[in-house]
Amino acid sequence: MTENMKWIREPKSSCISDERIEIVTEPHTDLWQRTYYHFRNDNAPVLQMETDEKYFSFIVKTDFADSHRRFDQCGIVMYLDSENWLKASVEYENEEFQHLGSVVTNHGYSDWATTAIPANVKTMWYRFSRREEDYCIECSYDGVNFSQMRVCHMWEGKDTIRFGIYACSPEESSFRAVFTDMKHTECAWKAHDGQQPDEK
């Protein structure tokens, strides 16, 4: 799978094999657009593959045992351009807790949805699924049982997209992020079986 992945902003230090990817983050790297903080940061390293497949899932395990400074993070990403992307990660906060969360950025404005998890969690699996221009992000502690983090619509995510992994350190920090167990599978996010859509 890694042979089909290409860098956006390649980091100074990384190691890629068929089974494992390591990224060493650099200080003051991040992905964020405008909302609340009123600043923009668009310099995190991103490693992605391209597809026009409308229904699929992508799974990866992240290891962030080396994270140690506020906002150190690594996870999954779909980076279309600087103003249209989504990401999910665990962000270090302190020795007691960290933030498991996701950011969706449409047309230049980011949101941030999080929940606190214990600081002793050092690995997390993610599953990113596409159903046309709608997307689902899930997480798992064991790679078997996944829980929904969010469902979202990407205004610029209708056609060919790029998706993969990222890591960054927004503050004065650097850590080694490790990615393993990557899989590109049929869509695990099944069609909604509840209320039927309104007739047009």
Report pLDDT digits (tens) over 69-90: 999 999 999 999 999 999 999 9
For 97, the 3-state DSSP assignment is strand
Please give the pLDDT value at position 72. Answer: 98
Do the beta carbons of residue 169 and residue 72 sit within 8 Å?
Answer: yes
How many CA atoms within 13 Å lie on the side-chain side of 62? Answer: 29
Please enumerate in sequence order all residues whose Cβ is within 8 A of that of 68, keeping only pairs 6 or more positions apart, or say none. Answer: 92, 173, 175
Please give the pLDDT value at position 41. Answer: 95
Domain ranges in the chain are 2-185
Q: Which of 29-38, 48-57, 60-69, 95-104 has the lowest mean pLDDT?
A: 29-38
For the segment(s) 2-185, the CATH number from 2.40.30.20, 2.60.120.200, 3.40.50.720, 3.30.70.60 is 2.60.120.200
Average pLDDT of the residues in 108-129 = 98
Average pLDDT of the residues in 96-105 = 98
Nearest to 123 by CA among 195, 190, 57, 67: 67
Please give the pLDDT value at position 192. Answer: 86
Report pLDDT digits (tens) over 122-175: 999 999 999 999 999 999 999 999 999 999 999 999 999 999 999 999 999 999
The strand pairing partners of 161, in sequence order, are: 51
What is the average pLDDT value for the chain, to the nearest integer?
Answer: 96
Task: Look at residue 37 and tell me whether its pLDDT is greater than 90.
Answer: no
Task: Look at residue 200 and tell me whether its pLDDT is greater than 70.
Answer: no
CA distances from 149 to 36, 90, 137 (A): 22, 12, 6
